[in-house]
């Protein structure tokens, strides 16, 4: 194993960037919208996150350690921003599935 095996700084930063995108969406959510519009916006946000993760996964060589660091930084950034545990767990699950 080389030194780069444990160098997950880029993955740590990417996880935080993904969380920032989710937090930005949540803070910009408009309360006057209908349930259908909110659902469509949430689906679009999840699709955007999935696309970003897939692109990152294809461009970077991710081992299990780097995947874990990415998911962990994503999860903690969401938790520290005040998101509910259930929401954070669901978003992290989506992220981990896309990292496979």
- pLDDT at residue 77, rounded to an integer: 98
Q: Tell the burial category of 23 from Cβ atoms under 10 Å away from its Cβ (0-12, 13-18, 19+).
A: middle
| 29/52 Cα distance (integer angstroms) | 21
Matching residue, tokens 């469509």? 40
Q: What's the rounded Cα separation, in Å, for the pair 19 and 43?
A: 16
Looking at the predicted structure, is the pLDDT value of residue 83 above 70?
A: yes
Task: Output the six-digit token pair for 57.
Answer: 């996964």
- How many angstroms separate the CA atoms of 1 and 42, rounded? 40
Q: What does the pLDDT read at residue 8?
A: 94
Q: Residue for token digits 């998911």? A: 71
Render pLDDT for 29-82 as a digit per residue (tens, 0 to 9). Answer: 655 667 778 788 889 999 999 999 999 999 999 999 999 999 999 999 999 999
pLDDT at 32: 61
């Amino acid at each position: 194993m080389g030194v780069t095996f444990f160098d997950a700084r880029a993955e740590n930063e990417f996880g935080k960037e993904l969380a920032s995108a989710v937090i930005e969406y949540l803070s910009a959510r408009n309360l006057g919208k209908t349930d259908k519009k909110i659902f469509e916006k949430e689906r679009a946000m999840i699709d955007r996150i999935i696309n970003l993760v897939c692109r990152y996964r294809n461009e970077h060589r991710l081992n299990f350690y780097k995947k874990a660091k990415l998911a962990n930084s994503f999860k903690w950034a969401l938790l520290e921003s005040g998101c509910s545990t259930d929401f954070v767990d669901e978003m992290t699950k989506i992220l981990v599935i896309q990292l496979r």
